């Protein structure tokens, strides 16, 4: 029994965590705004009957040493099976760097849950599969809103927190392309543990403002302001941002990573690439917005 699914990587520009007064992980999450790109995680699953439950997780492409999210999804998913004595062989193919603010753990969780649903013929509704992936992220403290966003794809505002089927998004239409430069990872778990209380007021105001303007220029400006406010900016990031801005190019910061992005029309790509290629220590990613969201392959 086999399954294969793809989930786009997702960049968050700013957010507000929604944890107060709620203990249901399906309803927890974040408000915020961001976009999905055409690179991400493809997960292939092979399931075989066995004497007892066991699993193996391997990774192609960019490596991730943390398999907690994958393990959580597998165990949670098998609760839906009357007989869970399987050997589950999982292969994640990751086409973006892990830990750099590109929503890899959410893409791993959602692509795995969708592939398992196909491999095991459980025929769970897509929203139920999305809820399993979202709960995995919340429990493992690897993310808050990436599953909801990448489930739908596109350039989105998350207007209600929670898993697919509970949370809500509003899409913004844009024909802009995306160029990112990634320098170093930042621990999402550490950030969630240490800094959430200091940032919620600003993130909430930004969501309200973007719902009114629906402007990707405003989105990039707010993303920069948010990153400065939460003190994730490094001297290297400042240098690149100043270089882009002095050439008339707006940009933002991917949370959580030492990663800068710009949403630009195709005719500006060459200009941006010439600037970013000076910073040889960075990983440059060019992509279109992925408007389709997570899907079976």
Percent of the chain whose predicted confidence (pLDDT) is above 70: 95
pLDDT at residue 256 in the model: 82
Rounded mean pLDDT of the chain?
A: 92
Residue with tokens 């240098």: 239
| Region for residue 238 given its phi and psi (left: phi exceeds 0; alpha: psi -120 to 50; beta: otherwise) | alpha
At what angle are helices 200-213 and 216-229 packed, to 10 degrees? Answer: 170
According to the model, what pLDDT value does residue 243 have? Answer: 98
Reported as a single tens digit per residue, the pLDDT across 70-123 is 999 999 988 888 788 889 999 999 999 999 999 999 999 999 999 999 999 999
- Using a pLDDT cut of 90, give the percent of the chain over it: 77
Distance, in Å, from the CA atom of 225 to the CA atom of 253, rounded to the nearest integer, reads 9
Give the span between the Cα atoms of 266 and 288, in whole angstroms. Answer: 10
The arithmetic mean of pLDDT across residues 16-40, rounded, is: 89
Nearest in space to 218 (alpha carbons), one of 181, 172, 182, 275 = 172
Q: d(Cα 114, Cα 127) in Å, to the nearest integer?
A: 10
Q: Distance between CA 72 and CA 192 in Å, rounded?
A: 19
Contact 170, 262 (CB under 8 A): no
The 10s digit of each residue's pLDDT in 273-291 is 999 999 999 999 999 999 9
- Structural domains in the chain plus CATH codes: 1-297 (3.30.230.120)
Q: Per-residue pLDDT tens for 54-74?
A: 999 999 999 886 789 999 999
In this prediction, residues 185-195 reach a mean pLDDT of 70
Q: Whole-model pTM?
A: 0.94
Predicted confidence band at 223 (pLDDT cuts at 50, 70, 90)? very high
DSSP string, 233-258: --HHHHHHHHHHHHTT---EEEBTEE
pLDDT tens-digit readout, 133-144: 999 999 998 888
**pLDDT tens sequence across 249-272:** 999 999 888 999 999 999 999 999
Q: Phi and psi dihedrals of 13, rounded to 5?
A: -90, -35
């Amino acid at each position: 029994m086999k399954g294969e699914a793809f989930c786009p990587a997702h960049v968050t520009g700013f957010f507000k965590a929604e944890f107060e007064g709620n203990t249901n992980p399906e309803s927890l999450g974040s408000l915020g705004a961001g976009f999905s790109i055409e690179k991400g995680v493809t997960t292939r699953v092979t399931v075989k009957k066995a004497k007892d439950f066991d699993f193996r997780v391997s990774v192609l492409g960019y490596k991730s040493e943390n398999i907690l999210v994958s393990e959580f999804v597998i165990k949670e998913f098998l609760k839906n099976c009357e007989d869970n004595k399987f050997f589950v062989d999982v292969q994640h193919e990751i086409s973006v760097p892990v830990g750099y603010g590109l929503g890899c753990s959410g893409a791993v969780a959602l692509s795995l849950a969708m592939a398992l649903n196909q491999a095991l013929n459980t025929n769970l509704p897509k929203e139920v599969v999305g809820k399993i992936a979202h709960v995995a992220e919340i429990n493992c403290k690897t993310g808050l809103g990436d599953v909801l966003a990448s489930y739908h794809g596109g350039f989105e505002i998350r207007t209600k927190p929670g898993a697919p089927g509970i949370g809500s998004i509003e899409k913004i239409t844009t024909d802009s392309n995306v160029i990112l430069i990634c320098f170093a990872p930042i621990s999402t778990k550490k950030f969630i543990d240490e800094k959430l209380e200091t940032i919620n007021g600003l993130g909430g105001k930004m969501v309200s403002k973007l719902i009114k303007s629906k402007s990707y220029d405003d989105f990039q400006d707010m993303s920069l302001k948010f990153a400065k406010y939460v003190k994730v900016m490094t001297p290297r990031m400042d240098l690149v941002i100043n270089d882009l801005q002095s050439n008339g190019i707006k940009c933002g910061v991917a949370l959580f990573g030492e990663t800068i992005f710009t949403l630009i029309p195709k005719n500006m790509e060459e200009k941006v690439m010439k600037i970013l290629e000076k910073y040889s220590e960075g990983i440059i990613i060019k992509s279109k917005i992925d408007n389709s969201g997570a899907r079976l392959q």
